[in-house]
């Protein structure tokens, strides 16, 4: 009996280590999602849509299609942005053709790659995340050296009649050039 009681401090110590590691990982992931949410609300400043797709005074329709990793973080980021942004939560990419920005999270019924394919040709800035697979939209979030960054496929943006500012292109981890 004494021998069994001596194991409890070790078990509690191990459980405490697991809780701290889990808490630290959860905190880091919350910060990562908060940074991505802030980026999503800032991207419209650096993108031009064709006149047929947007008018200058209309709020930005930012759509989360499928899995939503942001929760309330995206609404908080949108509220802190001086430009009006309306957040929509959609199930399928077909519903996102009138959105200005579509974050594609994928579902069991429609993968991120299928969502990207559905929106090809539509003037919608597609954003994907390396956490959801290798399929990439015009902007693809990735972790580089412990920080949130993004890759830009400017060629895909050009095919969808979008123009991405050179200022945003300079911040990207990599850029697939238009015409290349």
Distance (Å, whole) CA 101 – CA 47: 10
pLDDT single digits (tens) 42-93: 999 999 999 887 766 789 999 999 999 999 999 999 998 788 999 999 999 9
φ/ψ of residue 105, rounded to 5 = -95, -10
Distance (Å, whole) CA 123 – CA 98: 8
Which strands form 147-153's sheet, in the order they lie side by side?
85-90, 60-66, 101-106, 125-129, 139-144, 147-153, 174-176
For 126, the 3-state DSSP assignment is: strand
pLDDT single digits (tens) 127-175: 999 988 889 999 999 999 999 999 999 999 999 999 999 999 999 999 9
């Amino acid at each position: 009996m004494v021998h069994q009681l001596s194991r409890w401090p070790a078990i509690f110590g191990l459980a405490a280590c697991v809780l701290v590691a889990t808490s630290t990982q959860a905190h880091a992931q919350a910060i990562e999602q908060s940074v991505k949410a802030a980026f999503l609300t800032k991207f419209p400043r650096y993108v031009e849509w064709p006149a047929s797709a947007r008018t200058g005074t209309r709020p930005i329709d930012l759509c989360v299609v499928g899995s939503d990793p942001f929760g309330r973080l995206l609404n908080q980021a949108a509220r802190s942005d001086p430009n009006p942004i309306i957040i929509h939560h959609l199930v399928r990419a077909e519903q996102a053709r009138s959105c200005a920005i579509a974050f594609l999270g994928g579902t069991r019924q429609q993968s991120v790659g299928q969502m990207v394919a559905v929106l090809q040709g539509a003037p919608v800035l597609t954003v994907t995340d390396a956490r959801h697979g290798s399929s990439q939209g015009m902007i693809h979030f990735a972790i580089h050296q412990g920080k949130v960054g993004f890759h830009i496929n400017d060629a895909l943006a050009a095919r969808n009649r979008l123009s991405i500012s050179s200022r945003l292109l300079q911040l990207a981890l990599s850029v697939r050039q238009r015409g290349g």
